[in-house]
Amino acid sequence: MQTLAAQVITPEDLLKHWQGHRALTRRVIELFPEKDFFEFSIGGMRSFSKLTDELLAIAVPGLKGIVNKEEKAFAEESEKLIFKAQYLEKWDEATAEINQYWEKLSIEDFNETFNLFGQYEFPVIQNILYFIENEVHHRGQGYVYLRALGIEPPFFWER
């Protein structure tokens, strides 16, 4: 069995960090007026519903692929969600699934190389950090949208 030479953050703390970001992104989704969630954009960027589609298509499918060692191609959800409430429900389901799959990771798994979506061959820890960074990036777009709509977004540090 492989041991790690150094550990900066525990898997439990990393999951807590990720789920803190997810809780904040959920609050951003909640703040959008229904119509604007699907239609509002600036500078040709995608609507926040489309960005959320991407986030949903990455988190659980990516983590599931890592845990099951299955390299499936990236595919955004084929199910067409038409109400913000459906997105919030999917978000909550994904949050619970992340917790379930996370429990199946061993400390050794984080250093193993995995070809995420058959495209991104990096150690698992880097793939997971990508999940978080991508969400933060798109949430930042949501903050811009909310401000443009005259809505005060939540403080980014309140996770």
pLDDT higher than threshold 90 for residue 92: yes
C-beta of residue 145 within 8 angstroms of C-beta of residue 139: no
Distance of alpha carbon 122 from alpha carbon 29, whole angstroms: 30
- pTM: predicted TM-score of the whole model, two decimal places: 0.91
Query: Each residue of 95-143: pLDDT tens digit?
Result: 999 999 999 999 999 999 999 988 889 999 999 999 999 999 999 999 9
More confident call, 3 vs 153: 153
Cα angle 26, 71, 131; round to 5: 25
C-beta of residue 77 within 8 angstroms of C-beta of residue 56: yes
Give the pLDDT of residue 74.
81
Query: Each residue of 106-117: pLDDT tens digit?
Result: 999 999 999 998
Give the pLDDT of residue 158.
83
Give the pLDDT of residue 5.
54
Give the pLDDT of residue 91.
97
C-beta of residue 60 within 8 angstroms of C-beta of residue 101: yes
The alpha carbon torsion through 121, 106, 21, 134 (nearest 10 deg) reads 0
Assigned token pair, 82: 């038409």
Mean pLDDT of the chain, nearest integer: 92
How far apart, in Å, do the first and last CA atoms of the chain sit?
A: 35
69-98 average pLDDT score: 89
